[in-house]
Structure formats: C-alpha cells, structure tokens
Amino acid sequence: MPSKTWTVMNDLQESFNHIAHFDFLIDQLQEAVNSGKTQDIVDITAALTAFYPVYTDNFDKKFKKAWDEVVK
C-alpha cells in the first residue's frame, strides 16, 4: 500500500499531466489560425476557455494537499 506522501504526490503529477494535454489543443488552435479556419478557431478557443479553469482548479487542490502532507 503506497504511503500518503506518495499518493498525494502522484495525484499532483496526474493533475499536472491533465494540464499538459492542453499542448495538443494549443497546437490545433495554431494550425487553425495558420489555415484561417475561423470556425475551428472559435471551437478550439471555446474548449480551452471551458476546460482550463477546471483543470487548474484541480491542480490547485492537489497541490494544496501535497503541500500540506509533504511540507507542513
């Protein structure tokens, strides 16, 4: 059974990995801009705008748990 420290640090890493997946959407957005695909730009921007706060809030929660477990 993993330790509590390992668990919170693993959870933190997983939440960061979710944010890192935004690279794909950003690359897709850049391709849409370069190609002048207006509807794709609108759709991808809407996706980034909708999902980014959810992922960063999750990261903030996991970071606080990890901080409290490891540093405090």
Q: What is the pLDDT of residue 2?
A: 83
Whether the predicted model's global pTM rises above the 0.85 cut: no
Q: Which residue has the tokens 């959810």?
A: 54
Distance separating alpha carbons of residues 29 and 49, to the nearest angstrom = 12
Domain boundaries, the chain: 21-70
Q: How many CA atoms lie within 13 A of 18 on its CB side?
A: 17
User: Per residue of the chain (72 residues), what is the pLDDT tens digit?
Assistant: 889 999 999 999 999 998 888 999 999 999 999 999 999 999 999 999 999 999 999 999 999 999 999 988
Q: What is the pLDDT of residue 21?
A: 84
